[in-house]
């Protein structure tokens, strides 16, 4: 019989990994909302240079995640690799805070922080390696709980950091807070995460790093990643158009945007747990299909919203659909290369990168067709196309 959700915390590896995931999310939540302000207004970056830096950093992160995931699989343990990349985060955030100049920001953004951000997939790989022998429903529940820790950090941290720095002339202390979060994360992994015993074995078939890259982009894997990325792109499209619709056609304020984002983030935490339980009684694909349809309905309704109460009423639909789209793909992607948790979890980073790129194209297409309302409809159509591809290729057989 499946164990109730709270009992998974009794496993020290899973419990410590979840706290480490929260600390990882804390660092991102402390800096991401203010990163562009710091780079452009405080350090003097141009819009073009900043956008190019963000794109290049994301590309570096994908490559590093794949390489480090494969390395961890070959070593047969993830702890040592995670300790190493966490140190990169401490130096990356700390350097920007201590030496706030463009050169430091670029070096940190392209060399240090992309390596640190690989910790996300490594932590999920560590959890997956621990749960590989568990029933499918429990694996999904634990992954959902782990992902909820990131959402929880986004519920709590941005507002607290904003409040702490509300009277400050600079937002650079956000990077100090992130550096401290990385230090906590390092302590959790280095001190409290149990050492992996001799029963934890490396992947049965070692891959060179080039072979690992080839496997990730092989048609049987990458077409499924594209399908999931089309679905995930709807989240990015919403992130781009929600503030514009709220402050435009809906005639609300910037304050309403912040409130709406906070409400949805809180609902995501609740619904992530619900979706984790749902996957005990249905397949990942079925659950993801239902979540995608819910979010597509939300985007369509958002496109027709014309009053503040409309967008507030949509938060329940948005929160439930978004929770499915940010939690269920984790387990699905890991299952694509189930025998190598590190490499399989690196697909999470690939999905984030590809879906962000697709959302940029969808945003441009939507605005060329009409405006922000039309962009919402284009995003919804992209989600449906991704779902159709996913259902088709899942029906024709999942890769081993």
Is it the case that residue 20 has pLDDT exceeding 50? yes
Residues 173 and 285 in one domain: no
Whether residue 204 is predicted with pLDDT greater than 60 in this model: the reply is no
- Distance between CA atoms of 125 and 200, rounded to whole angstroms? 13
Q: Are residues 300 and 346 in the same domain?
A: yes
* Per-chain mean pLDDT for the chain: 88
Measured at the CA of 362, the angle between CA 357 and CA 366, to 5 degrees, comes to 155
355 inside domain = yes
Percent of the chain with pLDDT over 90: 56
Q: What is the pLDDT of residue 198?
A: 43
pLDDT of residue 212: 78
- Same domain membership, residue 370 and residue 252: yes
From 59-63, 294-298, 369-373, the region with the lowest mean pLDDT: 369-373
Q: Which of the listed residues 157, 172, 197 is the one where a domain comes to its end?
A: 197
Q: Answer with the one of 171, 197, 223 that is the final residue of a domain.
A: 197
Q: Pick the residue with more confidence: 194 or 184?
A: 184
Considering the domain architecture, whether residues 160 and 241 belong to the same structural domain is answered as: no
Note whether 141 and 230 are same-domain residues: no
Provide the pLDDT for residue 287.
94
Task: Specify if 112 maps to a domain.
Answer: yes
72, two tokens: 């961890």
Average pLDDT over residues 50-78: 90
158 and 237 in a single domain? The answer is: no
Whether residue 202 is contained in a domain is answered as no
Q: Are residues 310 and 370 in the same domain?
A: yes
The Cα 253–Cα 241 span in angstroms is: 14
Are 219 and 360 found together in one domain?
Answer: yes
Residue that wins the pLDDT comparison between 277 and 122? 122
**Number of domains comprising the chain:** 2
Residue 311, domain CATH: 1.20.1250.20
Helix H, strand E, coil C: the string for the chain is CCCCHHHHHHCHHHHHHHHHHHHHHHHHHHHHHHHHHHHHHHCCCCHHHHHHHHHHHHHHHHHHHHHHHHHHHHHCCCHHHHHHHHHHHHHHHHHHHHCCCHHHHHHHHHHHHHHHHCHHHHHHHHHHHHHCCCCHHHHHHHHHHHHHHHHHHHHHHHHHHHHHCCCCCCCCHHHHHHHHHHHHHHHHHHHHCCCCCCCCCCCCCCCCHHHHHHHHCCHHHHHHHHHHHHHHHHHHHHHHHHHHHHCCCCCCCHHHHHHHHHHHHHHHHHHHHHHHHHCCCCCHHHHHHHHHHHHHHHHHHHHHCCCHHHHHHCHHHHHHHHHHHHHHHHHHHHHHCCCCHHHHHHHHHHHHHHHHHHHHHHHHHHHHHCCHHHHHHHHHHHHHHHHHHHHHHHHCCCCC
256 and 179 within one domain? no
Pick 10 or 295 by higher pLDDT.
295
The mean pLDDT value for 241-256 works out to 86
pLDDT in tens, 367-398: 888 888 899 999 999 999 999 999 998 875 55
> Tokens 């659909």 appear where?
321
Q: Does residue 258 sit in the same domain as residue 127?
A: no
Q: Taking the model in full, what pTM does it have?
A: 0.87
pLDDT digits (tens, 9 = 90+) for 302-359: 999 999 999 999 999 999 999 999 999 999 999 998 888 888 899 999 999 999 889 8
Domain check: are 8 and 122 in the same one?
A: yes
Whether residue 49 lies inside any domain: the answer is yes
| Whether residue 262 sits in one domain with residue 342 | yes
Which pLDDT value is given to residue 2? 45
Region 131-144: mean pLDDT is: 82
Q: Of 178, 197, 216, which residue is a domain's last? A: 197
- Find the domain containing 165 and state its range: 1-197
């Amino acid at each position: 019989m499946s164990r109730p959700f709270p009992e998974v915390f009794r496993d020290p590896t899973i419990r410590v990994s979840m706290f480490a995931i929260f600390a990882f999310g804390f660092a991102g939540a402390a800096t991401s909302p203010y990163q562009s302000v710091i780079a452009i207004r405080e350090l003097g970056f141009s819009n073009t240079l900043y956008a190019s830096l963000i794109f290049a950093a994301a590309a570096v992160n994908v490559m590093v995640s794949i390489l480090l995931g494969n390395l961890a699989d070959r070593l047969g343990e993830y702890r040592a690799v995670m300790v190493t990349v966490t140190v990169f985060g401490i130096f990356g955030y700390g350097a920007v805070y201590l030496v706030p100049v463009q050169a430091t920001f670029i070096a940190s953004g392209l060399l240090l922080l992309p390596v640190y951000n690989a910790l996300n997939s490594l932590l999920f790989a560590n959890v997956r390696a621990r749960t590989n022998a568990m029933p499918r429903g429990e694996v999904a529940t634990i992954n959902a709980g782990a992902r909820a820790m990131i959402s929880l950090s986004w519920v709590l941290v941005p507002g607290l950091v904003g409040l702490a720095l509300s009277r400050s002339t600079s937002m650079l202390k956000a990077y100090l807070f992130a550096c401290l979060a990385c230090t906590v994360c390092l302590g959790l992994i280095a001190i409290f995460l149990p050492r992996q015993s001799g029963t934890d074995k490396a992947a049965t078939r070692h891959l060179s790093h080039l072979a690992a890259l080839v496997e990730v982009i092989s048609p049987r894997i990458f077409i499924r990643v594209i399908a999931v990325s089309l679905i995930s792109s709807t989240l990015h499209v919403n992130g781009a158009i929600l503030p514009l619709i709220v402050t435009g056609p809906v005639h609300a304020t910037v304050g309403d945007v912040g409130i709406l984002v906070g409400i949805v983030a809180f609902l995501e935490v609740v619904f992530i747990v619900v979706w984790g339980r749902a996957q005990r009684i249905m397949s990942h694909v079925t659950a993801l299909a239902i979540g995608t349809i819910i979010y597509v309905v939300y985007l369509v309704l958002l496109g027709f919203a014309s009053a503040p109460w409309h967008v507030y009423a949509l938060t329940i639909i948005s929160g439930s659909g978004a929770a499915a789209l940010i939690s269920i793909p984790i387990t699905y992607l890991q299952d694509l290369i189930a025998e190598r948790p590190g490499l399989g979890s690196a697909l999470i980073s690939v999905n984030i990168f590809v879906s962000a790129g697709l959302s940029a194209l969808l945003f441009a297409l939507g605005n060329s067709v009409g405006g922000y309302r039309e962009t919402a409809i284009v995003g919804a159509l992209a989600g449906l196309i991704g779902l159709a591809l996913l259902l088709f290729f899942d029906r024709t057989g999942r890769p081993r």
